[in-house]
A and B are shown apart, each in its own frame.
Chain A
Amino acid sequence: MSDNPFSLWVYLSQSPLLWLTVTLLTYAAADAVSLATRRHPLANPVLHAMWIIGAFLLLTGTSYTTYFAGAQFVHFLLGPATVALAVPLYENRKRVAAAILPMLIALAAGSVTAIVSVVLLAQAFGLPRSLILAMAPKSVTAGVAMGISQSLHADPSLTAVAVILTGIMGAIIVTPLMNLTGITDYRARGFAVGIAAHGIGTARAFQVDEVAGVFAGIAMSLNALVTSLLVPLAVTFLVH
């Protein structure tokens, strides 16, 4: 090690330990800042952790594959976290059962809007077909959206980026936008952000209000079901 100061870096930069630590440390710092600003929407911890780690990878010339070898342990937990949504759902079952009809109607309207709006806008901007297909499932959670994208022969890693960007924008916009509309029904506010901005929106909703978080979680799970059925349909009818 003392012979060559770079040999330690060469060893560490290839090990999952370094990149897992970098992911957790950066997020912990970004989350601390978010907490210090009393959860200001622009202090979104995902957004800031993302660009800081991204810049670090570019500066050190580390490939995403090497990074992901460490970060995959965090990424993996997306699945179990989806299962875990059963618990807040169970604990608020009476409130959820009472709102089942408005939820299903809002789900249909929101899910269709999320897909159709992005496809039509992308066509209006004249984006290439491959890009439109990859962006179509952007409102559902990363794992599901990547699956949909794969079945359309689009680029799943591009879909993941569209999904995360959508989630961050939704999480930043939702509170000011909803305050502007004057709607104070936290069930409706949570449900909307769960449909539009999946898990990142749900995480934001839990920060604002527990009921909003529960409804966001339900919306995100229901939307995962509906969108997997709707995107292939929408693509058939809208993308030429």
Chain B
Amino acid sequence: MIASLSLILLCQLIGEVTVRALAVPVPGPVVGLLLLLLLLLARDQFPSLARGPLANDGVEGASRGLLANLSLLFVPAGVGVVQKLDLLAEHGVAILAILAVSVIVTLLVTVATFVAASSLLSRADEEP
């Protein structure tokens, strides 16, 4: 458990250090994600890596535990709305309407593009 959490934190730490050192506009945890993914893929090639947190569902279990409670992690930032009540009183209706329309449009554009691209590509595969 502790070893698995340490591995996750270590990936994030290396990610943050890399991002800062190279001054790239990519969030550190995303680099950490790639790092952990590479580790898991490398384990398939080199069975000797399967020890400690990389054995017996260690890091997998810890990650599933974190992701099962993903919504909880947004609550503290969400409560920050109490600091912005004056702004919401002034522009609240416009802000809510804009965000709602933007979310709906984004959902529809993304899902339609995905479905269209995937059916076009699979049709291209079928044709000789």
Q: A165 to B26, Cβ gap below 8 A?
A: no
In the bound complex, CA of A164 to CA of B82 (Å): 13
The answer on a CB contact under 8 Å between A228 and B95 is no
Q: What's the least CB distance linking B31 to chain A, in Å?
A: 9
Q: A183-B111, A228-B25 are in contact. Are A106 and B33 (CB under 8 A)?
A: no
Most buried by B among A87, A103, A163, A213: A87
Docked-complex contact A110 and B73, CB < 8 angstroms: no
Residue-wise, chain B 1-39 has the 8 Å CB interface mask toward A (1 for contact) of 000010011011001000000000111111011111100
B75 touches A102 (CB 8 A): no
- Given A101-B121, A224-B30, decide whether A192 and B114 contact each other with a Cβ distance below 8 A: yes
Contact indicator B110/A191 (Cβ below 8 Å):
yes
B residues in contact with A221, CB < 8 Å: 30, 33
Asked if residues B111 and A82 are in contact (CB atoms below 8 Å), the reply is: no
Of residues A106, A143, A191, which shows the largest number of chain B Cβ atoms within 10 Å of its Cβ? A106
Decide if A161 touches B102 in the complex (CB within 8 Å). Answer: no
A-side interface size class = 35 or more
List A contacts of B40 (CB < 8 A): 86-87, 90
Contact between chains at A105 and B117 (CB < 8 Å): yes
The prevalent SS among residues of B at the interface is helix
Which residues of A sit under 8 angstroms from B101, Cβ to Cβ? 117, 121
Taking a contact as CB atoms under 8 Å apart, the answer to whether A74 and B75 are in contact is yes
Separation of A176 and B84 alpha carbons in the complex (Å) = 30
In the bound complex, residues from chain B placing their C-beta under 8 Å from that of A74 are 72-73, 75-76
Nearest A residue to B32, CB-CB: A83
B96, CB-defined interface residue at 8 Å: yes
Chain B residues whose C-beta falls within 8 Å of the C-beta of A45 in the assembled complex: 71-72
User: Which residues of A (152-177) have their CB < 8 Å from a CB of B?
Assistant: 157-158, 160-170, 173-174, 177
Expressed in whole angstroms, the minimum distance between the Cβ of A161 and any Cβ of chain B is 5
Interface centre among B41, B68, B104 (most CB of A within 10 A): B104
B82 close to A58 (CB less than 8 A)? yes
Evaluate contact between B87 and A158: CB separation under 8 angstroms: yes
Say yes or no for B45: interface residue by CB 8 A criterion: no
A/B interface sample: 18 pairs, CB < 8 A:
A46-B72, A49-B75, A71-B76, A83-B15, A83-B35, A86-B36, A90-B40, A101-B117, A110-B109, A117-B102, A131-B95, A170-B107, A183-B115, A187-B114, A192-B107, A202-B70, A213-B67, A224-B30
6 new A-B contacts at CB < 8 Å, known A87-B64, A135-B98 = A27-B72, A46-B74, A113-B110, A139-B103, A200-B71, A206-B67
Q: Which residues of A contact B (CB under 8 A)?
A: 23-24, 26-27, 31, 44-46, 49-50, 53-54, 57-58, 64, 67-68, 71-72, 74-75, 77-91, 93, 99, 101-103, 105-106, 109-110, 113-114, 117-118, 121-122, 125, 127, 131, 135, 138-139, 141-144, 147, 151, 157-158, 160-170, 173-174, 177-178, 181, 183, 185, 187-189, 191-193, 195-197, 199-200, 202-204, 206, 213, 217, 219, 221, 224-225, 228-229
